[in-house]
């Protein structure tokens, strides 16, 4: 077990490295693919190999691809986003897109393996924006509330006191209510980004950041993630600035609402990089609707506050750089 370097409550979520016997094909094992938000990679350690742990996203969405690629189950919105991004300034900041492939009756998009070329990297997934649901989901939940027991359970696992009296009686919550609550509990609403997961270079990982809410708490998690690596910190500050410049000049970015998209931070002892990933919930803005990605969201305006989150990230990483 590894410590997150801060509050004890994270430790319950912290998992050690996963060892897999290669004589037993991964598909037969309990945790078949080691994935970090769409990025699959084996680290060779003789017969037994360590697996990455999935830090975010749906289990089972990924497969290892050929020649330094990963396969991600096709979501039409995401495919469309990658196709459009190929002729946009954002292209330099997203995984290389190699089209669609069929495997075992499923369609996947083929993406560059972002961890390729790193040695025992530290990886962090930061989900961007002030909300992780579409406005239409709120509308649907009001008109036809579907109470889900599975996410009620997820909610009470995080905070037994979170459900209302009515939700407790029905033992269910709507997905929209759960996602909104998650956004408020974490730093999505107050900082317009949140930490989804961190994996350290020893293979330990955690998704236990659901209640990391305050700026200072987030900052300490970043400090822990960096582990005193100055090269990574300096590279991250520059790369965040470059992503901001690209997004501010991007036609794609100006015409889309980005919900549930992440920044993937990766570093080892020698190098670092950040990529913009996860476009499964990215959608074109309705005709005539404009957002600046910074203004406060009110239902109906489609704002995602992505750039607000990026400004906050840049400010925190710059503070950390100035502290060292
Ligand atoms: C899940 C997370 C996923 C979402 C999933 C949530 O919550 O928000 O993004 O899937 O919905 O349960 P958590 O991070 O707390 O585990 P989508 O992105 O597809 O909406 P689901 O339970 O309907 O799969």
Domain ranges of the chain: 26-134+186-323
Task: Using pLDDT thresholds of 50, 70 and 90, give the confidence band for residue 13.
Answer: low
Return the minimum-mean-pLDDT range out of 58-67, 132-141, 273-282. 58-67
Looking at residue 14, its pLDDT comes to 64
Looking at residue 54, its pLDDT comes to 58
Looking at residue 2, its pLDDT comes to 31
- Nearest ligand 1 atom, CA 210: 15
Task: Using pLDDT thresholds of 50, 70 and 90, give the confidence band for residue 11.
Answer: very low
> Whose C-alpha lies nearest to ligand 1, atom 9?
57
Tell me the backbone φ, ψ of residue 322, rounded to 5 degrees. -75, -20
In this predicted structure, the answer to whether residue 40 has a pLDDT above a threshold of 50 is no
> Whose C-alpha lies nearest to ligand 1, atom 23?
175
Neighbours of 286 (CB within 10 A): 8
Q: What average pLDDT does this structure show over 153-165? A: 97
List pLDDT tens digits, range 82-108. Answer: 999 999 999 999 999 999 999 989 999
Give the distance (Å) from ligand 1 centre to CA of residue 232.
Answer: 30
Give the distance (Å) from ligand 1 centre to CA of residue 297.
Answer: 21
Angle at 258 between CA 246 and CA 279, to 5 degrees: 90
> Whose C-alpha lies nearest to ligand 1, atom 21?
175
151 lines ligand 1 (CB under 6 A): yes
Question: Using the 8-state DSSP alphabet, how is residue 297 labeled?
Answer: P
In this predicted structure, the answer to whether residue 10 has a pLDDT above a threshold of 70 is no
Looking at residue 85, its pLDDT comes to 98
260 lines ligand 1 (CB under 6 A): yes
Mean pLDDT, all residues of the chain: 86
> Residue 156 in contact with residue 178, Cβ under 8 Å?
no
Give the distance (Å) from ligand 1 centre to CA of residue 179.
Answer: 8
Q: Which CATH superfamily is domain 26-134+186-323 in?
A: Inositol polyphosphate kinase (3.30.470.160)
154 lines ligand 1 (CB under 6 A): yes
Give the distance (Å) from ligand 1 centre to CA of residue 298.
Answer: 22
> Residue 261 in contact with residue 252, Cβ under 8 Å?
no
Tell me if residue 35 falls in helix, strand or coil.
Answer: strand
In this predicted structure, the answer to whether residue 7 has a pLDDT above a threshold of 80 is no
Task: Using pLDDT thresholds of 50, 70 and 90, give the confidence band for residue 248.
Answer: very high
In angstroms, the CA 131 to CA 189 distance is 7
Give the C-alpha distances (Å, rounded to integers) separating 112 from 165, 256, 286.
47, 23, 31
Looking at residue 204, its pLDDT comes to 87
> Whose C-alpha lies nearest to ligand 1, atom 19?
58
Mutate to test the pocket of ligand 1, among 151, 152, 209, 212 (most ligand atoms within 8 A of CB): 151
182 lines ligand 1 (CB under 6 A): yes
Task: Using pLDDT thresholds of 50, 70 and 90, give the confidence band for residue 245.
Answer: very high
In angstroms, the CA 302 to CA 229 distance is 38
Looking at residue 17, its pLDDT comes to 58
Across the strands, what pairs with 197?
125
Task: Using pLDDT thresholds of 50, 70 and 90, give the confidence band for residue 16.
Answer: low
> Whose C-alpha lies nearest to ligand 1, atom 11?
175
Task: Using pLDDT thresholds of 50, 70 and 90, give the confidence band for residue 52.
Answer: very low
Looking at residue 269, its pLDDT comes to 96
In this predicted structure, the answer to whether residue 27 has a pLDDT above a threshold of 50 is no
In this predicted structure, the answer to whether residue 21 has a pLDDT above a threshold of 60 is no
Give the distance (Å) from ligand 1 centre to CA of residue 132.
Answer: 9
132 lines ligand 1 (CB under 6 A): yes
Return the minimum-mean-pLDDT range out of 12-21, 115-124, 157-166. 12-21
Going 220 to 196 to 67 to 87, the CA torsion angle's sign is negative
> Residue 186 in contact with residue 211, Cβ under 8 Å?
yes
Q: What average pLDDT does this structure show over 8-28? A: 44
Return the minimum-mean-pLDDT range out of 205-209, 271-275, 294-298. 205-209
Return the minimum-mean-pLDDT range out of 7-16, 41-50, 263-272. 41-50
Going 191 to 187 to 205 to 2, the CA torsion angle's sign is positive
Give the distance (Å) from ligand 1 centre to CA of residue 185.
Answer: 15
> To which H or E segment does residue 223 belong?
helix 215-226
> Whose C-alpha lies nearest to ligand 1, atom 8?
179
């Amino acid at each position: 077990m590894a410590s997150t370097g801060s509050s004890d409550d994270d430790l319950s979520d912290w998992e050690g490295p996963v060892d897999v016997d290669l004589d037993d094909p991964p598909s037969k094992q309990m945790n078949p693919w080691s994935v970090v938000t769409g990025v699959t990679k084996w680290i060779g350690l003789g017969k037994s190999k360590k697996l990455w742990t999935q830090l975010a996203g749906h289990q089972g969405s990924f497969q290892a691809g050929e020649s330094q690629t990963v396969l991600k189950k096709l979501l039409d919105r995401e495919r469309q986003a990658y196709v459009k991004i190929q002729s946009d300034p954002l292209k330099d900041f997203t995984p290389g897109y190699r089209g669609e492939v069929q495997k075992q009756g499923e369609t996947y998009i083929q993406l560059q393996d972002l961890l390729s070329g790193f040695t025992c990297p530290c990886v962090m997934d930061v989900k961007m924006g002030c909300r992780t649901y579409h406005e239409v989901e709120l509308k649907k939940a009001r008109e036809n509330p579907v109470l889900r027991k599975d996410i009620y359970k997820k909610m009470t696992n995080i905070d037994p006191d979170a459900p209302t009296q009515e939700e407790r009686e029905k033992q269910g919550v709507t997905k929209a209510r759960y996602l909104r609550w998650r956004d408020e509990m974490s730093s999505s609403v107050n900082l317009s980004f949140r930490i989804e997961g961190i994996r350290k270079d020893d293979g330990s990982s955690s998704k236990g950041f659901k209640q990391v809410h305050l700026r200072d708490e987030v900052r300490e998690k970043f400090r822990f993630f960096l582990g005193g690596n100055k090269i990574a910190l300096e590279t991250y500050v520059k790369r965040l600035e470059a992503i901001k410049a690209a997004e501010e000049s991007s036609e794609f970015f100006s015409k889309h609402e980005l919900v549930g998209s992440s920044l993937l931070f990766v570093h080892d002892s020698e190098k670092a990089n950040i990529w913009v990933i996860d476009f499964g919930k990215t959608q074109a803005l309705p005709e005539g609707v404009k957002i600046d990605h910074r203004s406060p969201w009110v239902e109906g305006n489609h704002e995602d506050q992505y750039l607000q989150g990026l400004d906050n990230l840049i400010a925190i990483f710059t503070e950390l750089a100035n502290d060292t």
